């Protein structure tokens, strides 16, 4: 799996968009980008994944650069409940374990 | 999405005793489950891969005789911490991949809520 680099922490005001960057410059052509988040003392929660194209679901949007070396997770209207550690993972095939880095601690405040 | 449960959610035991943690896939069958450990203020660390009907695969540095994994059915994997000591106190989390996803494609996984183990 490709190594990912994320900022240690970020702050966001409630109601504003939270943009979480992730660098994965060594990603290979068939590796997906996955985003999970972990709220304190809970198991990780799947958010979104993508390969080449930008993706959007009910939780977030994922913007992947054309060269696929970086991506941004966008929470369009952050709420206090979005305060969590967000993990960006660049990984491969189904059936293998997801390897977690240190993630970004997002703090949403009112 | 698919649901994964863990039991117990929290356990406190005395040093030297063994503790069993269960991981269940509630609405799907999982041939593969994964076990992670998370210490305070740290990320999840993969401990082992649990395969139904065969021996688990352990990550380097994880003692297989201390952390016994049994995946006897397609919906249940168990992790037994044998002769637990205070340094084994941690948050243990299991996960299972979405079985509806074909092998070789994306790797969405579903995680249990975790088990907090405290060894006194």
CB within 8 Å: B43 and A103: yes
pLDDT at A30 over 90: no
Q: Å from A99 to nearest chain B CA?
A: 7
**Sign of the alpha-carbon dihedral angle for A96, A24, A84, B61:** positive
Quickly state the pLDDT bin for A97 (edges 50, 70, 90). Answer: confident
- pLDDT for the residue B47: 97
Residue B107 has pLDDT above 70, yes or no: no
Segment A35-75, tens digit of pLDDT? 999 999 899 999 999 999 999 999 999 999 999 999 999 99
pLDDT attached to residue A94: 60
Contacts with A, B 54-93, CB within 8 Å: 91, 93
Are B79 and B68 within 8 A, CB to CB? yes
What span, in angstroms and rounded, lies between the C-alpha atoms of B8 and A69? 41
- Report the percentage of chain B scoring pLDDT > 90: 71
Q: Would you state the pLDDT for residue A87? A: 97
Q: What is the pLDDT of residue B103?
A: 55
Q: What is the mean pLDDT of residues B10-29?
A: 94
Q: Per residue in A9-23, pLDDT tens?
A: 999 999 999 999 999
Smallest CA–CA distance, residue A4 to chain B, in Å, is 13
Structure tokens at B3: 């649901």
More confident residue, B103 or B79: B79
**Å from B41 to nearest chain A CA?**
9
Q: Tell me whether residues A46 and B43 touch, CB distance under 8 A.
A: no
Residues of B in Cβ contact (< 8 Å) with A97: 34, 46, 49, 95
Q: Report the residue of A94, A99, A101 to disrupt the B interface, i.e. the one with the largest count of B CBs within 10 Å.
A: A94
Range among A51-65, A80-94, B94-108 rated most confident: A51-65
Instruction: Report residue A81: phi and psi, to 5°.
Output: -70, -10
Do residues B105 and B53 make contact, with C-beta atoms less than 8 angstroms apart? Answer: no
pLDDT at residue A95 in the model: 66
CB contact under 8 A, B4 and A42: no
Is the Cβ of B111 closer than 8 Å to some Cβ of chain A? Answer: yes
**Picking from A70-74, A77-81, A87-91, B103-107, which range would have the lowest pLDDT averaged per residue?**
B103-107
CA distances from A24 to A4, A30, B13 (A): 5, 13, 41
Q: Give pLDDT, residue B29.
A: 86
The answer to whether residue B119 scores a pLDDT higher than 60 is yes
What is the least distance, in Å, from the CA of A106 to any CA of chain B? 14
More confident of the two residues B72 and B63: B63
The pLDDT of residue A73: 98
Alpha-carbon distance of A43 to B113, in angstroms, equals 4
DSSP per position, A6-57: --SEEEEETTS-EEEEEE-TT--TT-EEEEEEE-TTS--EEEEEESSS-EE-
Out of B101, B111, B116, whose CB is closest to A44? Answer: B111
Distance CA A108, CA A92 (A): 31
Mutation target to probe the A interface, by most A beta carbons within 10 A, among B41, B98, B99, B106 is B106
Q: Considering Cα of B99, then B61, then A39, then B20, what sign does the dihedral take?
A: positive
């Amino acid at each position: 799996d490709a190594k990912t680099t994320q900022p240690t922490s970020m702050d966001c005001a409630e109601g504003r968009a939270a943009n979480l960057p992730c660098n994965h410059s060594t990603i290979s052509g068939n590796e997906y980008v996955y985003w999970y988040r972990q709220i304190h003392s809970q198991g990780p929660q799947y958010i979104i994944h993508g390969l080449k194209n930008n993706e959007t679901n009910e939780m977030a949007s994922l913007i992947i650069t054309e060269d696929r070396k970086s991506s941004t997770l966008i929470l369009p209207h952050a709420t206090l409940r979005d305060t969590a550690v967000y993990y960006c993972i660049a990984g491969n095939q189904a059936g293998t374990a997801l390897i977690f880095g240190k993630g970004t601690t997002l703090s949403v405040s009112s | 999405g698919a649901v994964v449960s863990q039991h117990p959610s929290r356990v406190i035991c005395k040093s030297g005793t063994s503790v069993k943690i269960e991981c269940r896939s509630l609405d799907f069958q999982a041939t593969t489950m994964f076990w992670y450990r998370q210490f305070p203020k740290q990320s999840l660390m993969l401990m082992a891969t649990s395969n139904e009907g065969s021996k688990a695969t352990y990550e380097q540095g994880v003692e297989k005789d201390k952390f016994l994994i049994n995946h006897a059915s397609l919906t249940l994997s168990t992790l037994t911490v044998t002769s637990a000591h205070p340094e084994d106190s941690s948050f243990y989390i299991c996960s299972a991949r979405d079985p509806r996803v074909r092998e070789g494609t994306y790797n969405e996984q579903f995680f249990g809520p975790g088990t907090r183990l405290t060894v006194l």
